[in-house]
Structure 1
Amino acid sequence: MLSAIARQDKVEKLDSYHFDILIIGGGITGAGIALDARTRGLSVALIDMQDFSAGTSSRSTKLVHGGLRYLKQFEVKMVAEVGKERAIVYENAPHVTTPIQMLLPFYKKGTFGRTSTSIGLKVYDFLAGVKKEERRIMLSKDETLRLEPLLKEKSLLGGGLYTEYRTDDARLTIEVMKKADELGALCVNYVKMDNFFYHNGKVQGVQAKDLLMNKEISIQATHVINAAGPWVDEVRSKDSIENGKQLRLTKGVHIVLDRQRFPLKQAIYFDAPDGRMIFAIPRGDKAYIGTTDTVYEKNPIHPIASNDDVSYLIDNLNRQFPDHSFTFADVESTWAGVRPLIFEEGKDPSEISRKDEVWRSTSGLWSIAGGKLTGYRKMAETIVDEVMKEFDSTKQIASGTKHLSLSGGGVNGSTGLSSFLQQKKKEGQLHGLSEEESMELASYYGSNVDHVFSFYAFLNINNTSLPRIEAAKLAYSIQYEMCMKPQDFLIRRSGYGFFHLEKAWDLLSGVTEFLGDRLHYSPEQKETLKKEAESELTLLTQFKEGKFL
C-alpha cells in the first residue's frame, strides 16, 4: 500500500532494484504512466520532489472536460479524444467524477449567438460521443434566468445547457497513484532527481536525494520518462535539449467565494471581453471562479495569485453578475496553477495548443508535456506504447487501463454509485457516524471508505485535539496515501486549503501533532513542518497582503 509508515522501505527498494521504467514526476501524467506500464507487466518506479499532485495536478479548474473553447481554434482531434476520455474517467472513478450541467449564456454582441452556440454544442456532443441523455439543450431567455437568476439580464438572448464532469484533481491523481501502487509500482514522494547517469551514452537511471531523510540514492532503470510538468525543461537541461522543443509556462488562477455571498445555483461558462472563457462553479457551500491565462516566467514551485489576477476575475464576475458588486474582501482563498505548454512562436497564452507531445533525446531520455487533466490516461497510453517498442516481443502487451477501476472506484461503475452510497450510509451509522457524515465519507473515498470507517471506530484519539472524523481521515491518508506533511493533508488529501481555508488553519496544530506522532517526528521536526505548512496556507491568500514572491 502507499503507506507513509512504509516509505523508508520503499526508498531503500528504489536504491536496490533495476526497473524497466523510472518516472520523474508525480502529477496526473506521471501517475497515469505508472499505472499504464504496470498493466503491461513492466517494473515501475516513480519519484516526485514534492508531494504527489503538489504542482499543476492540484491546481486546475477541477473539471474532466473536453475543452469546448478549443473548437474555436479548430482543434477537432483534441476535442474528440479528450471528450471521449471524460466518460472513461467517470466510469473508472465515479466517486471523484460528477456529471454537472454547464450553462453557456449568450448575449447580443457577445462571442456566441444562438446559432453558433447550438451548432458548437452539437458538434461538441458529436465529437465527444456524449450519451443521448446528456446532450445539449437550447434554452430561451426566461428558461436561462430560471436556471440562474443571478445572471445579467440586459441583452440576454438565451443559453445552451451541456454536460461536463466536475472532479477533485488532487484526489483523482492520488487514486491513480494508489492503483498503480496496488499493481506493484514503487511510488515515492519527496525524492528529488539531481542528475542522470549513463551507460554507453544512454540514460540508465538517476542520482536522487530523499529530501525527508537527507539521503542520497541511485535509481537504475532501462528507460527514464520525464513527466515533471512545469519542470520538464529543467529536468531535460540536466541531460540535453537538442530538438528545439521547449515549454511555455502559463499561469491560471482561481478564486473561491462563499455561496452565502454569491448564491450561485448553476455552473456557468461565460465569455470575457478579451475573448477568454470563464467558469463559475458551485461546489458545496462555496463557488469558485477561473481562470486566467498569463505567461509565467518564475519558479513554478509556489505560484500565487497576484492582485492583477484577482482583479481580472472579480471584474469579469461583476460584469456577468452586476447586482453583487464583488470586491477583494469577498475572496476567501485562491489557487494558482502553472500549465506546461509546448511553446509556439508568436502565440498568446490562450492561443497555445493544449495538445500533448512526446519526444526523446539522443541519450534516450523520454519527455512528455502539454495535454489536459482529462486526457491523462490516453497520454500515458501513448508514451508507454512508444517505450514498449524498445522491449522484445514477449512484452508487447496492450494498455489495460481503459476499463480499469481506480482506487476507490470499485462501486460497480457510475450506475452502481447510488446504491453503494445508500449502503454505506447505513454502515457508517453502525460505526457511530451520522447519515450525513457517512454519505460524505463514502462519496469522497468511494470503495475505500471502509478503511476510514474502521479508523473512526477503533482509533484512539485521547491524545489529539483533532475531531474524531478528521483524525480518521488523516490516519487513512497516512496509512494509504503517503501523507508526509501537514499541508499534504490540509491542501491535497482533503481540499480544505482551497475550499475551507479557515478550517485548515483551525486543524493545523492538531494535524501536525497527530501526523508527527504517527511518523515519529521529533518536536523540532514538528515545529519545522508546522511553519512550512503555515507558509503554504498563507500563499492561498497572498494577494490580500500585496506581497509577491
Structure 2
Amino acid sequence: MVNFSAASRVQRHSVLKEQTFDLFIIGGGITGAGIALDAASRGLKVALAEMQDFAEGTSSRSTKLVHGGLRYLKQFEMKEVAELGRERAIVYENGPHVTSPMWMLLPFHKGGTFGSFSTSLGLKIYDILAGVKKGERRYMLSADEITAREPLLKKENLLGGGMYVEYRTDDARLTIEVLKAAVANGAVALNYLKVIGFQGSNLSFSRVEVQDQLTGESYIVKAKKVVNAAGPWVDDVRKLEHTIGEKHLILSKGVHLVFDETDFPLRQAIYFDTKSDGRMIFAIPRDGKTYVGTTDTFYDGDPLKLTVTIEERNYMIEAIKYMFPNLNLTLDKIESAWAGVRPLIHEKGKGPSEISRKDEIWQTESGLITIAGGKLTGYRKMAEKIVDLVVNQLNQEFNKKFGKSITKHLPISGGDMSGSRFFESFVQKRVIMGKQLGLSEEQSRYLAKFYGTNVDKVFDYVAQATGDLPAIVYGQLYYAMNDESASVATDFFIRRTSALFFNIHFVEQFKDSVIDEMAQYLKWSDQEKLQQIEWLEKALNDVKIVK
C-alpha cells in the first residue's frame, strides 16, 4: 500500500505512471473522496487526482453542517428530505469525531417567513421523513423561553420557535478522513495534480494526461474508467474532451463571516430569515467564535479567485443587525471570512436558491462519466450510484466480479470506534493518555475529539516534539505532513486544522515556525520557501476583512 505522506509524492507519481487503474477520479473534494472510498473498498484499483489541495474548493467552504434536508420541505421534495435524513445519520455513525449533533433554534416573528403552525408541522413532518431518532425530535418554545435561552435574539414581535437538531461538521476534515479511508483500502491519491488532457479515450480505456502543479512534470495515467467529480470545474474538464452540451453548471456563491465571541456572544445556534429578501441564514457558535452565513447569488467569475465583496459584507451585517439588534456589530468586528461556490446544474428561469441541489450523472460517447450537483450530506449515496455504474460496466466489459457498496457501515478514518455511542468514553481514555505526555486536559480532549482513533499517532508525534513549536502544534503538523499529505503551508492552516477561518491568531503566531519546519522536513529550496510564505500571506489577506 502506498502511504499518504507529503514526502511520498515521487513514489505515488511512479505508481500512477506504471499501473493501469480500474477507475481514475478527477477531483478531491467530498464527492471524489467518497467515490474513491466506495470503489477501493469494493476492490477496484483506484487513482485520484486533485489540481489543488484536497477539499480546497467547495468542500472546505460550506456552512459546515451535515444537513438533514429541512429546506427541501418548502419545495415539497419529500424524497430528498428522507434520503438526506438517513444519510446524515450514517455520516455521523461512521465518523463521530468530525460530525456532532447540535440543537438549532428556528424562531418565528410576526410578519416573518414562518408561523407557529407551519413551523411545528414542518418540523414534525421532517422528523418523520428523515427518521430522526427520539432524543433529537423537534419541540416548540414560547417567546419567553427563547429569550431566556438566547437573550441576543430580536424580541420585538417574537412569537415563539422550534428546536430541531442539525449536525455540525468540519467539511474539509470530513473530506480528508474519507480520502484517508480510501487510501487505507488501496487507493492512490495525489493533490496538486491537474488533469490537462485526454489521449485516445474510449468507452473501455482512457489515457489521461496530468501535470504536477508543484514541479511542472507531465505524464500519462492509464485507466479503464474515468469519473469527472471536479465540482465547480466539472465543465472545464468536459471542455478538455470537447463535450459541453445542453447541460452545464451554474455557480452559486456563498459568503460566511466569523466574529470573536466577545463581540458576538451567541449561546444558541439560530436559523433565521432575513428582512431584505427572506433568505434563511445560520448563526452558529463554534470554539470561541460565532460564524454567520450564507449568501446565495449567481457567480460567473473564476472559482480560484473568490473574494468577499463589500456588498456581501454589508448584506450579512444588516441581516445580523436585524435579528440581533443589540449587538451593534460593524465591519471592523469581522475577524475572518470565507467565500465558496456551489456547483449547480443550470435550470432556466430559476434563481440560485430555487435551483435543485440534486446530483446528476451523465456519460459521453467516449466514456467520461460526470457527476455534478448534490450536497455534502449525500456524498456517500452519490458515490454509491457512481461506483454502481462503473462496476456494472467493468463487470460486463472486462468480465470482473466487483460487488455492492459496503460504505453504509464502513467507518471513515478516525471513526473506528463501533459507533457514536462509544465516542465520549473513547475521548475520556485518550485525555488520560494525553496528560501523561504533558499535554493539558483541554489540549488532550481537543486532539481526541478532532482526530478520533487516529489520535494515538498524533500523540506519537507529540512525544517526539523538538524545536520551537509547542508539542501539540508539532504533533498536528507532522501528522498532517506524514499521514494527510499536507504539502504546502496553507494545507495545514486551512484544510487540516481550520485555523485560518476560526483561529487566525494561531496562524499569525506560528506561521513562520511552521514554514521553517515544513521547509526542513520536505526539503524545500530557498525559492520554494519564499513561495510558501507568499501563498500563506495571500491566504491570510483573503480571509481578513480589510478595515
User: Which of 339, 343, 355 is equivalent to 1:340?
Assistant: 343
Q: Judge conservation of contact 2:235–2:244 (CA < 8 Å) in 1.
A: no
Q: CA deviation at 1:197?
A: 1.3
Q: CA deviation at 1:60?
A: 0.2
Q: CA deviation at 1:544?
A: 2.1
**Structure-1-length-normalised TM-score:** 0.97
- Looking at structure 2, the residues matched to 50 and 486 of structure 1 have their Cα atoms a distance apart, in angstroms, of 13
Q: Judge conservation of contact 1:137–1:162 (CA < 8 Å) in 2.
A: yes
User: Which of 428, 433, 442 is equivalent to 1:427?
Assistant: 433
Q: Does 1:383 align with 2:392?
A: no
- Looking at structure 2, the residues matched to 103 and 201 of structure 1 have their Cα atoms a distance apart, in angstroms, of 50
Q: Judge conservation of contact 2:204–2:224 (CA < 8 Å) in 1.
A: no
Judged with a 3 Å threshold, the aligned counterparts in structure 2 of structure 1 residues 515 and 434 are, in CA distance, closer, same or farther, namely same
- Looking at structure 1, the residues matched to 95 and 186 of structure 2 have their Cα atoms a distance apart, in angstroms, of 20
Greater mean deviation of Cα atoms: 406-415 or 201-210: 201-210
Instruction: Name the structure 1 match of 2:484.
Output: 481
SS at match of 1:426: helix
Deviations 1:433-486 (A, max 9, x none): 111111010010100001111111123x23xx3222111100110000000000
Instruction: Name the structure 1 match of 2:160.
Output: 158
Judged with a 3 Å threshold, the aligned counterparts in structure 2 of structure 1 residues 468 and 396 are, in CA distance, closer, same or farther, namely closer
Instruction: Name the structure 2 match of 1:518.
Output: 521
Judged with a 3 Å threshold, the aligned counterparts in structure 2 of structure 1 residues 339 and 199 are, in CA distance, closer, same or farther, namely closer
Q: CA deviation at 1:242?
A: 4.9
- Looking at structure 1, the residues matched to 202 and 348 of structure 2 have their Cα atoms a distance apart, in angstroms, of 36
- 1:63-102 correspondence to structure 2 within 5 Å: 63-102=65-104
Instruction: Name the structure 1 match of 2:214.
Output: 212
- Looking at structure 1, the residues matched to 512 and 348 of structure 2 have their Cα atoms a distance apart, in angstroms, of 48
Q: CA deviation at 1:203?
A: 5.8
- Looking at structure 2, the residues matched to 150 and 235 of structure 1 have their Cα atoms a distance apart, in angstroms, of 47
Instruction: Name the structure 2 match of 1:403.
Output: 409
**Structure-2-length-normalised TM-score:** 0.97
Q: Judge conservation of contact 1:205–1:224 (CA < 8 Å) in 2.
A: no
Q: Judge conservation of contact 1:111–1:275 (CA < 8 Å) in 2.
A: yes
Instruction: Name the structure 2 match of 1:357.
Output: 360
- 1:486-501 correspondence to structure 2 within 5 Å: 486-501=489-504
Q: Judge conservation of contact 1:242–1:361 (CA < 8 Å) in 2.
A: no
Q: CA deviation at 1:503?
A: 1.7
Identity of aligned residues (%): 53
Letter in 2 for 1:327: T
- 1:101-180 correspondence to structure 2 within 5 Å: 101-180=103-182
Q: CA deviation at 1:82?
A: 1.1
Deviations 1:88-123 (A, max 9, x none): 000000001010000000011110000000111011
Q: Judge conservation of contact 1:7–1:188 (CA < 8 Å) in 2.
A: yes
Letter in 2 for 1:529: Q
Instruction: Name the structure 2 match of 1:49.
Output: 51
Q: CA deviation at 1:201?
A: 7.5
Q: CA deviation at 1:205?
A: 2.7
Letter in 1 for 2:408: K
Letter in 2 for 1:534: E
Q: CA deviation at 1:151?
A: 0.6
Q: CA deviation at 1:507?
A: 1.5
SS at match of 2:122: helix
Q: Judge conservation of contact 2:120–2:140 (CA < 8 Å) in 1.
A: yes
Greater mean deviation of Cα atoms: 143-152 or 96-105: 143-152
Instruction: Name the structure 2 match of 1:305.
Output: 308
Q: Does 1:317 align with 2:323?
A: no
Deviations 1:26-77 (A, max 9, x none): 0000000000001111110000110000000000000001231221112221
Q: Judge conservation of contact 2:357–2:373 (CA < 8 Å) in 1.
A: yes
Q: Judge conservation of contact 1:240–1:361 (CA < 8 Å) in 2.
A: no
Q: CA deviation at 1:423?
A: 0.3
Instruction: Name the structure 2 match of 1:237.
Output: 239
Letter in 2 for 1:270: F
Letter in 2 for 1:49: M
Instruction: Name the structure 2 match of 1:259.
Output: 261
Q: CA deviation at 1:247?
A: 0.3
Judged with a 3 Å threshold, the aligned counterparts in structure 2 of structure 1 residues 53 and 437 are, in CA distance, closer, same or farther, namely same
SS at match of 2:178: helix
SS at match of 1:345: coil
Q: CA deviation at 1:193?
A: 0.5
Instruction: Name the structure 1 match of 2:473.
Output: 470
SS at match of 1:395: coil
User: Which of 410, 421, 437 is equivalent to 1:415?
Assistant: 421
- Looking at structure 2, the residues matched to 287 and 330 of structure 1 have their Cα atoms a distance apart, in angstroms, of 11
- Looking at structure 2, the residues matched to 75 and 237 of structure 1 have their Cα atoms a distance apart, in angstroms, of 32
Instruction: Name the structure 1 match of 2:186.
Output: 184
Q: Judge conservation of contact 2:206–2:223 (CA < 8 Å) in 1.
A: yes
- Looking at structure 2, the residues matched to 473 and 330 of structure 1 have their Cα atoms a distance apart, in angstroms, of 29
Letter in 1 for 2:454: N
Q: Judge conservation of contact 2:202–2:366 (CA < 8 Å) in 1.
A: no
SS at match of 2:177: helix
SS at match of 2:409: coil
Q: Judge conservation of contact 1:243–1:361 (CA < 8 Å) in 2.
A: no
Give the unaligned 5+ runs of structure 2.
Answer: none
- Looking at structure 2, the residues matched to 200 and 317 of structure 1 have their Cα atoms a distance apart, in angstroms, of 53
Q: Judge conservation of contact 2:203–2:225 (CA < 8 Å) in 1.
A: no
- Looking at structure 1, the residues matched to 404 and 205 of structure 2 have their Cα atoms a distance apart, in angstroms, of 25
Q: CA deviation at 1:206?
A: 0.9
Q: Does 1:287 align with 2:290?
A: yes
Instruction: Name the structure 2 match of 1:455.
Output: 461
- Looking at structure 1, the residues matched to 530 and 448 of structure 2 have their Cα atoms a distance apart, in angstroms, of 33
Judged with a 3 Å threshold, the aligned counterparts in structure 2 of structure 1 residues 19 and 504 are, in CA distance, closer, same or farther, namely same
Greater mean deviation of Cα atoms: 414-423 or 76-85: 76-85
Letter in 2 for 1:22: F
Letter in 2 for 1:424: R
Q: CA deviation at 1:411?
A: 2.2
Q: Does 1:12 align with 2:18?
A: no
Instruction: Name the structure 1 match of 2:35.
Output: 33
SS at match of 2:317: helix
Letter in 2 for 1:206: V
Q: CA deviation at 1:394?
A: 4.0
Q: Judge conservation of contact 1:3–1:482 (CA < 8 Å) in 2.
A: yes
Greater mean deviation of Cα atoms: 497-506 or 326-335: 497-506
Instruction: Name the structure 1 match of 2:252.
Output: 250
SS at match of 1:166: strand
SS at match of 1:205: strand
Q: CA deviation at 1:202?
A: 6.5
Query: Over the residues paired in the alignment, what is the CA RMSD in angstroms?
Result: 1.2
Q: Judge conservation of contact 2:210–2:221 (CA < 8 Å) in 1.
A: yes
Aligned residues: 541
